[in-house]
Structure 1
Amino acid sequence: MPYPKPTTQDVLRFEADGFLVVRDAIDPEEVAALVAMGADMTQRPADWGKDWDWRRGEPLDQRAYRIVQSGVDRLFPWLPQSRFRAWAGRFGGALMRQDMAFWYEQFLGKPPGVGAPTPWHQDEGYWGRTLEDCGITCWTAFHAVGPENGCMHFARGAHRRLIEHCNPPEMASDLLVCDIAQDAEVIGCPIEAGSVTFHHSKTPHMTTANSTPRWRLSLAQHFRNPACAVLAADHYDWRVRVCQRTDGG
């Protein structure tokens, strides 16, 4: 049954682990719309936005786009009005035991064979102190994903403290990375189209490279406590800002 309500067990598991997999969550019609959106995005490089794996020494106009990162709400107006969006906010709020409002979305594409891994990080490393324990992300792929093409991996139960992050010296993008504990319990989460993962804003997570001959296409929807919207940003010192616009803006 699509768009289920979270059970008490779901909430307790999320609180213990810092993440949750929800199988067969999305209505098949909206899964089909996501698949069509992904196919469209692979054919419109002018709308790719950023390369999250942009390396130093690569000219801006010659980025390899090993990790395509782009907003898509402006391009596909059905998405903000979708049942999926509304459900993810409700479900995420129940898991966090606080109100959650949609904040922003990211289309994340890894091209065939060369799609790079997304290293370990915590979303709060990007979002700053204002969002401490006040954010959640719903992530889905538009097709089956596993370790071979970029499924989610989480450090179980590691969402109780923030880890120091850095911007790797070889990166020209604003990508941040952190080191998880050597004894961390890493859980890979292969999912099928229509399933999703939720993770706490402090949960360390990563996705593997795409070594397959097909695109790895996914959508991350980020939610925050609406009270945070009126608070001033309070970023950590490791946060960097990089403009990848080519129009001079």
Structure 2
Amino acid sequence: MKDLFLKQGYFKVQKLINPYEVKQLQELYNNLLEDETKTEGLRSDLAGGDSNTERITQIMRPSMNEPKLLQTNTYELVTTIVKDLLGPDMELDFDMLINKAPHTDTPTPWHQDAAYWIKMPDKRSVSCWIALDNVYEANGCMWFIPKGNDQVLPHKPSAKGGALCCETNVDNAECIPLDEGGCTFHDGFTFHYSKGNSTNTQRRALILNFRPKDMISLEREQGVDHTGERKVRNK
């Protein structure tokens, strides 16, 4: 896994967590998704625009509101894998929920996560994208392009208040369907994308993001805690 991650910037684990753990996470996830008061200030629509209906619901730092998430085996297991990948100083920087509601048909555009982050001297990072439903092309599974380098292309908002996007060659893009409980790991400079959800059910994903402890301290010193305004920081 480490060789694959370092070579192409991503890999998949078809089954990371067992059905009991999946069910536990689904219950915690749904409670947060349904409680707009509890998640106020941390919740937004990645689709942007002026729609009254959330199409791509993003809830940042969900474990701040629901500490039971941190007590699950999932967080411990993913942390262990990340430390094996990139070193013992890797720690959880932030987590988030991204839900695509049924028949919202809104893609998450091609982008690099690093565009959202400040410039850091230590560029090591890992994002673990955990499927809490069976995910496939029609409901918004992940697509990746093998990473070339650690450069960030110019990004801009896809819509007012929406997700960042960029233009890139997608000829080598790979579609990654997963069973619930499966996951992908990707680097912050790896291009990725997902189609809109055109099915009758939700597409629920839990994302855990890691970087070196010193870089987390650097972010916090500059006021970056992965809440607040969505914008390009790494220019």
1:13 equivalent to 2:4? Answer yes
What is the TM-score when the length of structure 1 is the normalising length? 0.81
Give the CA deviation at 1:118: 0.7
2:191 is equivalent to residue 173 of structure 1? no
Say which SS state the counterpart of residue 65 (structure 2) adopts: coil
Shift of 1:234: 10
Identity percentage of aligned residues: 26
Partner letter of residue 209 of structure 1? Answer: G
Between 1:189-198 and 1:113-122, the stretch displaced more is 113-122
- Give the match for residue 28 of structure 1: 19
Kept after mapping to 2: 8 A contact 1:158/1:204: no
Aligned counterparts of 2:110 and 2:123: Cα–Cα separation in 1: 18
The reply on whether 1:212 has 2:199 as its aligned counterpart is yes
Q: Structure 1: 5+ residue runs without aligned partners?
A: 1-9, 244-249
- Residue 124 of structure 2 is aligned to residue 134 of structure 1: yes
CA deviations over 1:25-51 (Å, ceiling 9, x no partner):
113321111122233344334437111
Q: Secondary structure at the match of 2:22?
A: helix
Larger Rg: 1
After TM superposition, the structure 1 = structure 2 runs for residues 96-107 of structure 1, keeping only pairs within 5 Å, are 96-97=86-87, 99-107=89-97
Q: 1:177/1:233 Cα in 2 relative to 1: closer, same or farther (>3 Å)?
A: farther
More displaced stretch, 67-76 vs 101-110: 67-76
Match in the other structure for 1:94: 84
Distance verdict in 2 for CA 1:50–1:126, change over 3 Å = same
> Whole-Å Cα distance in 2 between the matches of residues 44 and 198 of structure 1?
29
| Alignment deviations for residues 50-106 of structure 1 (CA, whole Å, 9 cap, x no partner) | 111121xx2xxx632111011321333211122211221221222234621011111
Pairing partner for 2:59 from 61, 70, 90: 70
Contact 1:54–1:63 (Cα < 8 Å) also in 2:
no
SS at match of 1:107: strand
* Greater shift in the superposed pair: 151-160 or 189-198: 151-160
- Would the alpha carbon gap of residues 234 and 156 (structure 1) be closer, same or farther in structure 2, given more than 3 Å must change? farther
1:167 and 1:176 in contact (8 A); partners too: yes
In structure 2, which of residues 34, 39, 46 is the aligned counterpart of residue 43 of structure 1? 34
Residues 1:93 and 1:63: Cα distance change in structure 2 (over 3 Å): farther
Q: What SS does the aligned partner of 1:80 have?
A: helix
The AA in structure 1 aligned to 2:164 is L
